[in-house]
A = this chain, B = another copy of it.
């Protein structure tokens, strides 16, 4: 929580966000919306509970997070982003987009994977090539974690969970599935890496990002 003591906007931003876990807390709040303490802990495996409490206080003091007392039936406290906190969306997107290039070696030993993190990649990389086509729904499962991707009217959305009657289902090891969704692996290479595609293949191809240039791929 020590300041860099530089009158520079980046240094000021890091005075608020630079401590360990802070930006991941903002990630959780952006992905989940206003959340309970316990749900935040679940989305931040490895965080010490005192650190989460400390960081939430600091973010509150900086005007990034606001504490809301939930209405009657639940009666718990919710932590949500203020408008200033919502303003971090672009910065987190840019950082996460840069980080995609660091995921091509697959998960390391003991790396955790949660479904709602996968939805970030949809938002970062995928887009509908046929915005006026009929709505499509795709389920993507990496390991045991699955998300549902909806495209309707050119708008893509994704959320954790499973679908009743998706147009297609993608499943496979995390590297193949996330590599496909992030555009790091073209469909053929992802299939070679263990990805299985069942259902309407063209509905998947319609949403896939342009693969990264050949030089960026795994050697």
Docked CA distance A108–B2 (Å): 13
Task: Give residues 158-179 of A contacting B (CB, 8 Å).
Answer: 174, 178
Q: Determine if A101 is an interface residue (Cβ-Cβ < 8 Å).
A: yes
A13–B96 CB distance below 8 A: yes
B9–A108 CB distance below 8 A: no
Q: Give the total of A residues in contact with B, Cβ under 8 Å.
A: 54
Instruction: Note all chain B residues with C-beta closer than 8 A to A20.
Output: 18
Instruction: Note all chain B residues with C-beta closer than 8 A to A113.
Output: 6-8
Stretch at the interface among A34-42, A84-92, A188-196: A84-92
Given A6-B112, A10-B99, 18 new contacts (CB under 8 A): A6-B24, A6-B45, A7-B178, A8-B99, A9-B102, A9-B120, A9-B124, A10-B95, A12-B102, A13-B95, A13-B98, A13-B102, A16-B99, A18-B18, A84-B101, A90-B94, A90-B98, A94-B94
